[in-house]
């Protein structure tokens, strides 16, 4: 993310300036809100609809089951372009219709649905790229919590690498002088890394974001966990007020204060993305209660730091570095204790020279190659755990015998799982209701 108020304002004016009915906007009373744009961001689990407004608006959201409809009623608002759109490509939306209520006090935007959704809405204040917005999220209705994706019992488990392309959809991330958006560059790099991982035996890639849509910071971690990620790599590109700022950097989580002024500032910028998550945020905070699992995390942090060092060294061979050390910062996406993680800032998109480089396929490939080095090292040093079903136990043992392990000082859940040659999720499954913190002397079922 970057601080670019001037650029943002310019873009905002351009948008308004291209709308033909600008004069209407100026002559109407100040309290009328103009709607000057509509954007759709379809994602696998939800569609985000964004209405661009020239100021805040009072509105009501209502849903109707048969036929499936979601209705927004905006108080004293008017569109300055047509919003009635056929949106047949969207997996959830059939069409959008608009009209004024009889007394013209309310403007109605009706969304006809293809299937049942859970609708949420909220207002967003202006940011670097957009003005005031009314956001409507249409989430798939979840049929209970999906079970974690488990490999078939007979298979040897692959190491799962979660690749997290930062930002997306309504959140462009940092924007360069040529209007290069961080969200696009990092998705390209992530896809290249995915390809490299796919080619390797014993490795499996999970793309946290597959297209141009937004995933909340907590949602990114949840997806990685759902796929039993062994390693989490978040890909970003920096932005800064000064054009001269340059160089790539790699971050790991810091429990304490960030290691530098810059690291603090960057963490703030990257974490800020979740303001775009709007209503999701309250949920994220509670889900970060797990961030207290300190013991487990510290073991993974060590691995993360080691791998981050590998990436940094490789990045140093293909471009400038922003500091010679791995940075520590308090990034929300790095807070999962279950797996080692790192955040790679691939360069400054606000530095014209680096922006040019970041746009090229050749450099994007080199960045992916640099991260792949660390992935390979990880695979060699921390080979995939074998599923419990592959352990040499007789069938009667497996059925009848419960085996317990007593927690010792310095133990972590992942270390225990590794020593028992079982996956972390299998260990959790055997111990339902496992508390966040392990206690010395605590009994854990391991078979």
Q: List residues near Zn ion by CB under 5 A.
A: 166, 173, 236, 270
- C-alpha neighbours within 13 Å on the C-beta side of residue 333: 33
Q: What share of the chain is helix, strand, coil (3-state, %, to 5)?
A: 35, 25, 40
Tell me how far, at minimum, the Cβ of 86 lies from Zn ion, in Å: 34
Tell me how far, at minimum, the Cβ of 183 lies from Zn ion, in Å: 8
* 386: Cβ contacts below 8 Å, ≥ 6 apart: 156, 157, 421, 422
Nearest to 173 by CA among 86, 232, 255, 234: 234
Tell me how far, at minimum, the Cβ of 191 lies from Zn ion, in Å: 17
Strands 249-253 and 327-329 come out as parallel
Exposure of 149 by Cβ count < 10 A (0-12 exposed, 13-18 middle, 19+ buried)? exposed
Tell me how far, at minimum, the Cβ of 173 lies from Zn ion, in Å: 4
Angle between helices 280-287 and 217-226 (to 10 degrees): 50
Tell me how far, at minimum, the Cβ of 238 lies from Zn ion, in Å: 7
CB 303 within 8 A of CB 380: no
CA 170 to chain centre: 12
Instruction: Give whichever of 230 and 345 is closer to Zn ion, judged by the CB atom.
Output: 345
Rounded to a whole number, what is the distance in angstroms from the first to the last CA of the chain?
Answer: 46
Instruction: Give whichever of 148 and 207 is closer to Zn ion, judged by the CB atom.
Output: 207
Instruction: Give whichever of 308 and 444 is closer to Zn ion, judged by the CB atom.
Output: 308
Instruction: Give whichever of 1 and 117 is closer to Zn ion, judged by the CB atom.
Output: 1
What DSSP designation does 291 have?
G
Alpha helices by DSSP H, 326-436? 352-359, 361-381, 395-400, 413-419, 424-430
- Which residue minimizes CB distance to Zn ion? 236
Residue 2 vs residues 182, 267, 352: alpha-carbon distances, Å: 10, 11, 14
- Map residue 123 onto helix, strand or coil: strand
Residue 102 vs residues 105, 106, 107, 415: alpha-carbon distances, Å: 8, 8, 10, 67
Tell me how far, at minimum, the Cβ of 186 lies from Zn ion, in Å: 7
| 67 upstream amide cis, omega within 30 of 0 | yes
Tell me how far, at minimum, the Cβ of 182 lies from Zn ion, in Å: 5
Instruction: Give whichever of 136 and 326 is closer to Zn ion, judged by the CB atom.
Output: 326
Tell me how far, at minimum, the Cβ of 349 lies from Zn ion, in Å: 9
Give kind and range of the element (H or E) at residue 68. none
Instruction: Give whichever of 167 and 363 is closer to Zn ion, judged by the CB atom.
Output: 167
Whole-number Å distance between alpha carbons of 297 and 314: 25
Instruction: Give whichever of 77 and 267 is closer to Zn ion, judged by the CB atom.
Output: 267
CA quadruple 391, 396, 397, 398: dihedral positive or negative? positive
Instruction: Give whichever of 119 and 233 is closer to Zn ion, judged by the CB atom.
Output: 233
Tell me how far, at minimum, the Cβ of 167 lies from Zn ion, in Å: 6
Whole-number Å distance between alpha carbons of 403 and 429: 14
Instruction: Give whichever of 113 and 273 is closer to Zn ion, judged by the CB atom.
Output: 273
**The two three-digit tokens of residue 91, written as one number:** 């997996």
Tell me how far, at minimum, the Cβ of 74 lies from Zn ion, in Å: 32
Instruction: Give whichever of 266 and 379 is closer to Zn ion, judged by the CB atom.
Output: 266
């Amino acid at each position: 993310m970057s601080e670019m108020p001037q650029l943002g304002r310019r873009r905002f004016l351009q948008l308004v300036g291209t709308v033909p009915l600008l004069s209407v906007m100026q002559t109407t009373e100040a309290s009328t809100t103009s709607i000057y744009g509509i954007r759709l961001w379809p994602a696998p689990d939800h569609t985000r609809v964004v209405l661009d407004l020239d100021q805040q608006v009072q509105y009501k959201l209502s849903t109707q089951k048969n036929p499936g409809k979601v209705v927004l009623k905006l108080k004293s608002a008017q569109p300055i372009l047509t919003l009635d759109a056929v949106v047949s490509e969207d997996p959830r939306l059939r069409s959008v219709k608009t009209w004024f209520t009889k007394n013209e006090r309310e403007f109605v935007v009706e969304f006809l649905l293809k299937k049942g959704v859970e609708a949420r809405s909220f207002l967003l204040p202006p940011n670097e790229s957009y003005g005031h917005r009314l956001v409507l999220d249409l989430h798939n209705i979840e049929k209970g919590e999906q079970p974690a994706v488990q490999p078939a019992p007979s298979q040897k488990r692959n190491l799962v690498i979660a690749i997290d392309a930062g930002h997306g959809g309504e959140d462009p991330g940092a924007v360069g002088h040529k209007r290069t958006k961080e969200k696009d560059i990092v998705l390209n790099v992530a896809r290249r890394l995915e390809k490299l991982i796919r080619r390797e035996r014993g490795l499996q890639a999970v793309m946290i974001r597959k297209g141009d849509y937004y995933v909340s910071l907590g949602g990114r971690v949840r997806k990685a966990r759902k796929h039993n990620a062994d390693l989490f790599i978040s890909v970003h590109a920096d932005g800064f007020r000064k054009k001269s700022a340059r160089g790539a950097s790699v971050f790991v989580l810091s429990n304490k204060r960030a290691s530098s002024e810059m690291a603090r500032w960057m963490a703030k910028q990257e974490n800020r993305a979740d303001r775009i998550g709007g209503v999701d945020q309250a949920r994220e905070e509670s889900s970060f209660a797990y961030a207290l699992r300190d013991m487990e995390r510290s073991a993974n942090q060590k691995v993360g730091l080691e791998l981050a060092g590998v990436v940094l060294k490789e990045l140093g061979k293909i471009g400038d570095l922003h500091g010679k050390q791995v940075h520590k910062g308090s990034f929300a996406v790095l807070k999962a204790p279950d797996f080692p993680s790192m955040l790679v800032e691939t360069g400054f998109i606000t530095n014209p020279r680096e922006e040019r480089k970041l746009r090229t396929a050749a450099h994007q490939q080199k960045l992916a190659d640099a991260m792949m080095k660390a992935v390979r090292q990880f695979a060699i040093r921390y080979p995939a755990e074998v599923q419990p079903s592959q352990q040499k136990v007789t069938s009667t043992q497996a059925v009848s015998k419960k085996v317990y392990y007593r927690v010792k000082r310095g133990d972590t859940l992942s270390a225990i799982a590794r020593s028992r040659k079982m996956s972390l999720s299998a260990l959790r499954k055997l111990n339902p209701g496992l508390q966040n913190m392990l206690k010395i002397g605590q009994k854990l079922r391991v078979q």
